[in-house]
Amino acid sequence: MVWYSLSKVSVEELLIYAKNADYKWIFLGVFLGLLSHLSRAYRWLFMLEPMGYKIKFGNSTMAVFATYLINYTIPRAGEVARASIITNYEDVPFEKGFGTIVAERIADMIVMLGIIGITLFLQFDFIYTFLIEKFNPTKILMALFVVALLLIFFLRFIRKSNSKIALKIRTFVNGLIEGALSIFKMKKKWAFIFHTLFIWGMYLLMFYVTSLAIDELDGISAGAILIGFISASFSIAATNGGIGSYPIAIYAAFSIFGIAEDPSIAFGWIMWASQTLMIIIFGGLSLIYLPIYNRKKSQ
């Protein structure tokens, strides 16, 4: 994917875009990203406190930054490392720490689905027209019908079957539902909900703010920002931290709105590189400083 994106725009052209970019918007985007990570670390305290664990904000913050850094190596390994760090330095049982991470991911997924829903509502006419022009409406309806039919049969099978796979899937789904509902049972649920919305608000804002650094993206529509943000968010799950896939995802989304290829991919690389550099610096410092910060406890 890195090769593919660089085949669209050469390194020399990317360097020209990077040189001409307005760095005050890039630095502001990095700052907003930093705020979102600090909010995520603070939000985690609300989930651990009901179980009787009051961990240090410093350890929570460094565990979060370490998570993002480690996810660049092995996908989702960061979540395991995050729970392990708190187990090591705060004596929180691994399964409980990991359970809270799963629950907060569910909360994030709900917000993401909300953003997708709002985007579909605001851009329905545009998206509908685009799909009609690009794809056969009858085939789209048939595909949706087949998917819905398969989903119904699959759910009926899972509900009635006593096979090991079905039991595991039922247990997993029930655990996800229980984890999601547990959010509304915590004492500081409104603070948790506020921080969840704040985190995603900062994500969306940093995406828009960084786009202002590219002159060719001046006056970009809200619809392009929303769809570009959604596409970029999914790309992070496609590869380790969005390596290679992030600029391609933004280019694919922006091309729907007729935005030129070069500035789209250049923006994707600038956006990804600035946030990645911040994660490398703070994640690396966190891994180094964690044992120093907890030296007294070790002694």
To the nearest whole percent, how much of the chain has pLDDT over 90? 40
The answer to whether the Cα torsion of 189, 195, 198, 203 is positive or negative is negative
When pLDDT is cut at 50, 70 and 90, the band that residue 165 belongs to is: confident
Number of H helices, E strands in the chain: 14, 0
By mean pLDDT, which of 54-58, 92-96, 177-181 is the weakest? 177-181
- Read off the pLDDT of residues 190-229 as tens digits, 9 standing for 90 and up: 888 899 999 999 999 999 999 999 999 988 888 889 999 9
pLDDT given at position 134 = 62
- Report CA-CA distances (Å) from 19 to 5, 10, 35, 173: 19, 14, 26, 49
- Read off the pLDDT of residues 141-154 as tens digits, 9 standing for 90 and up: 787 788 888 888 88
> Is the model's pLDDT at 250 over the cut of 80?
yes
**pTM summary value:** 0.82
Q: Which residues contact 137 (CB under 8 A, 6 or more apart)?
A: 131
- Compute the distance between CA of residue 267 and CA of residue 236 in angstroms, rounded to an integer: 16
> Is the model's pLDDT at 182 over the cut of 90?
no
Question: Helix or strand or coil: residue 89?
Answer: helix
pLDDT given at position 103 = 84
Count other C-beta atoms under 10 Å from residue 55's C-beta: 19
- As a whole number of Å, the end-to-end CA separation of the chain is 47
What proportions of the chain, in percent to the nearest 5, are helix, strand and coil? 85, 0, 15
pLDDT given at position 111 = 92
